[in-house]
Structure 1
C-alpha cells in the first residue's frame, strides 16, 4: 500500500529536471523532507494561476470537501474519477505534479506490514500526478488540499495487493499540467505512466512507521 513520499532535493533541482521556470520560488522553503506523510505540505508544481504560467507551492496533502462528513482522502482512485465521482471529477481541471525522489509502500499482512522504498532506476526525480482544490491565494488546508492519483496496477513491491501512484515521465508530466487540455485529453496522458521495470525497491526500517498515515 502506497503511503508516503520523499522530497530530499531542492525546488531548483526539480525545476531543472522538468525544465520548469528557474524564476519560480516558494514562499516557505524548508530543507530536505525524507518522510512526508499525508497532512504535510510537500512541494507541488502547477499552472493554476490566471495566466497559466509555471508555479510552485507547498500544498496540503489531503482533501475533504466542505460538505464531506468523513476524513480527508490523500489518494484518489483513477477509476473513481473516470466514473464521474462528484468529489474527484470536478478536480480534473485542477491538475498538479508532485516531484519526489521516491515513495514508500507497505507490504505484508496487515499486522506485520513493513515499509519499502521505491525510486527510479536512473536515480532521477519522479513526477506524481495529482489534483487539487487549491488555487493561488488560498491558504493550504484540507478543504483546499490535494490528492495523488493511484491506479489498479497493484503495488510495486507486492503486485497482488495495494495500489501505486501514477508516475509520469518528463513529457507526460508537462502534458498533464497543460491547462488547455480538456479532461478527456488529460486522462489519456495518465495512460503514459512509467512501467514497473523502470523502478527499484528495497526494505527500510520499520521505524519509519508501522503503517501509512
Structure 2
C-alpha cells in the first residue's frame, strides 16, 4: 500500500522529468520540502483540466456521502476500473502524485521497522492517482486516492502492495482526458516501473509521527532493536 511518502523537490524538477514546458503550467524553483506526507493532508496533485495541466492542493482521502467508514487512501489497480467505488474516478478523475519515494512498515518481532523506497537513480516518481475531479474545488471528504499494485520480486519482502509508479510517458498518457478507461488499465500494466528499478533502506521510527519532517527522515538508519 502507500500510506506515507516524500514530496520534497521543486515542481520544476518534477516538470522537467515529465518534459513539461514553462508555458504549459506555472513553474516554481522553490523546493516543496515535504518529507513525510500523510493521509488527511492536502497534497499537490497534477491533473488535466479545461484543456491544460494544473497543479492543485487536494485532500488525500476519499469518502463519498454513502460511505460509512473512514476515508480510503488507496485503490487497487486490479479492481478500481470496474468497482462501484472508483469506476467513475478511473474514467474522469485520473491524476498524478509527484514524489521522491515512499515509506513502508515491516513487522520485525514486536515492532515495525519503517523503510524508505526510491528509484535507484533517485529520479522523481509519478504515482497514479484517481479522485473527485475537478480538483480546483475544496472538498475534504472526496479528494483522491493513490492507485496501488501487487508487489513483485524483492519488494514483497517489505510489503505486498506498492504504489503504481508510472514512467514519465505513461504518466502523461494517464493524465490525458482522451485516454479511455480501458487504455488506462493497459497503462497500469505496461507503463509501470519495475521492481528492480528500486532500492530501499531502513529509516528512523521518527517517520511514524507525521508531525516530524526534514531530510533526516529519509536517511538510512540502523534497524530498531
Residue matched to 1:40: 41
Residue matched to 1:202: 201
Is residue 5 of structure 1 aligned with residue 19 of structure 2?
Answer: no
Residue matched to 2:169: 171
Contact 1:2 1:155 in 2 (8 A): no
4+ residue segments displaced more than 3 Å: 154-161
Change (3 A) 1:136 1:196: closer
Instruction: Tell me the SS of whatever aligns to 2:122.
Output: coil
Shift of 1:67: 1.3
CA RMSD after TM alignment: 2.4
Residue matched to 1:16: 16
Residue matched to 1:124: 123
Shift of 1:107: 1.0
Shift of 1:134: 3.0
Task: Tell me, in whole angstroms, the C-alpha distance in 2 between the residues paired with 1:140 and 1:7.
Answer: 22
Contact 1:154 1:160 in 2 (8 A): no
Q: Deviations over 1:60-112 (max 9, x none)?
A: 11100111111100001122214x21111110121001010111111125852
Aligned positions, number: 206
Task: Tell me, in whole angstroms, the C-alpha distance in 2 between the residues paired with 1:155 and 1:115.
Answer: 19
Task: Tell me, in whole angstroms, the C-alpha distance in 2 between the residues paired with 1:18 and 1:105.
Answer: 26
Change (3 A) 1:209 1:139: same
Task: Tell me, in whole angstroms, the C-alpha distance in 2 between the residues paired with 1:205 and 1:134.
Answer: 36
TM-score by length of 2: 0.83
Instruction: Tell me the SS of whatever aligns to 1:147.
Output: strand
Task: Tell me, in whole angstroms, the C-alpha distance in 1 between the residues paired with 2:31 and 2:156.
Answer: 33
Which of 36-45 and 107-116 deviates more? Answer: 107-116
Task: Tell me, in whole angstroms, the C-alpha distance in 2 between the residues paired with 1:63 and 1:175.
Answer: 23
Task: Tell me, in whole angstroms, the C-alpha distance in 2 between the residues paired with 1:172 and 1:117.
Answer: 24
TM-score by length of 1: 0.88
Task: Tell me, in whole angstroms, the C-alpha distance in 1 between the residues paired with 2:11 and 2:159.
Answer: 33
Is residue 99 of structure 1 aligned with residue 102 of structure 2?
Answer: no
